[in-house]
């Protein structure tokens, strides 16, 4: 399914390509880093905040898929409420493919806790715990 | 220092003040730029400042203060306490405290706020690039 049917973000800040697999509480996404990424830096690597955006949008893709699975007509908008225990160890270059695992945690009203981890060549390069505000409108 | 990703597209710096009583503490006055290209995607016809752009803004302020390229290596906790939109809130204050823990590592604490409320509370570590 086209990622644009699952999340409301669009270029230049669209930071996920595909929802590869999912069930109710897990998702795996992919993202290819391109030369023209809005967060590409002079040294040929993307800024670390782009990894955080990618992890958040990966969780948002699962939120969108869950909404569609529940029969909702619209996918929700997710906002980052909090990022914690986040480590960013490597900034990917253009041509690198990122694979991200999302674990859906506790939901309290419109707040959802997620754990995310991004791998590049089977090595973890970023991880974070996030609190997302999922606005179902 | 590498070229800024967001200065003069997402925000402009209007003033920087250094706290005479605390050498680690500085305050930036910034203005958000309403027609920034990023709002085309965040979100179409519904502009909201991305949390990650506000963390990048804090990083760029820290780079200005140190004169070095810095990378956010750890975020202990970053809270986004209110939704920020470029058309309602254009003038912001970035209050930033930088503590140089070792040769290449800074502990960074920052708040983005206006006269009414705070929007971002950041605690993290930045490392020289």
B44–A14: do the CB atoms touch at under 8 Å? no
B75 inside 8 A of chain A by CB = yes
φ, ψ for residue B126 (rounded to 5)?
Answer: -120, 145
Q: Could you report the per-residue pLDDT of B32-81, keeping only the tens digit for each?
A: 999 999 999 999 999 999 999 999 999 999 999 999 999 999 999 999 99
d(CA A104, CA B81): 22
Task: Give the mean pLDDT of A84-104.
Answer: 98
A-chain residue closest to B74, CA distance: A87
Name residue, tokens 């016809």: B45
Q: Could you report the per-residue pLDDT of A9-38, keeping only the tens digit for each?
A: 999 999 999 999 999 999 999 999 999 999
Q: Place A137 in a pLDDT band, splitting at 50, 70 and 90.
A: low
List all residues of chain B from 96 to 125 with a beta carbon under 8 Å from chain A: 124
Is pLDDT above 90 for B122? yes
Is pLDDT above 90 for B1? no
B-chain residue closest to A82, CA distance: B79
What is the pLDDT, as a whole number, of residue B87? 80
């Amino acid at each position: 399914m086209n990622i644009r049917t699952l999340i409301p973000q669009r270029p230049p800040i669209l930071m996920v390509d595909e929802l590869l697999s999912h069930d109710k509480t897990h998702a795996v996404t992919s993202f290819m880093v391109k030369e023209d990424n809005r967060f590409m830096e002079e040294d040929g690597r993307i800024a670390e905040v782009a990894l955080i955006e990618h992890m958040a949008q990966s969780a948002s893709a699962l939120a969108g898929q869950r909404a569609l699975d529940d029969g909702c007509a619209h996918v929700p908008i997710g906002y980052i409420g909090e990022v914690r225990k986040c480590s960013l160890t490597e900034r990917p270059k253009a041509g690198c493919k990122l694979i991200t695992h999302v674990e859906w945690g506790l939901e309290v009203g419109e707040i959802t806790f997620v754990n995310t981890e991004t791998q590049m060549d089977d090595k973890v390069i970023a991880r974070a715990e996030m609190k997302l505000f999922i606005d179902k409108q | 220092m590498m070229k800024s990703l967001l200065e003069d597209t997402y925000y402009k710096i209007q003033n920087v003040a250094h706290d005479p009583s605390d050498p680690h503490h500085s305050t930036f006055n910034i203005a958000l730029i309403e027609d920034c290209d990023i709002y085309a995607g965040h979100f179409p016809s519904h502009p909201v400042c991305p949390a990650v752009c506000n963390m990048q803004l804090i990083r760029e302020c820290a780079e200005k203060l140190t004169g070095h390229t810095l990378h956010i290596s750890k975020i202990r906790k970053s809270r986004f306490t209110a939704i920020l939109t470029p058309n309602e809130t254009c003038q912001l204050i970035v209050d930033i405290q930088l503590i140089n823990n070792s040769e290449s590592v800074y502990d960074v604490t920052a708040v983005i706020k206006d006269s009414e409320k705070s929007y971002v509370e950041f605690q993290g570590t930045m490392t020289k690039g």
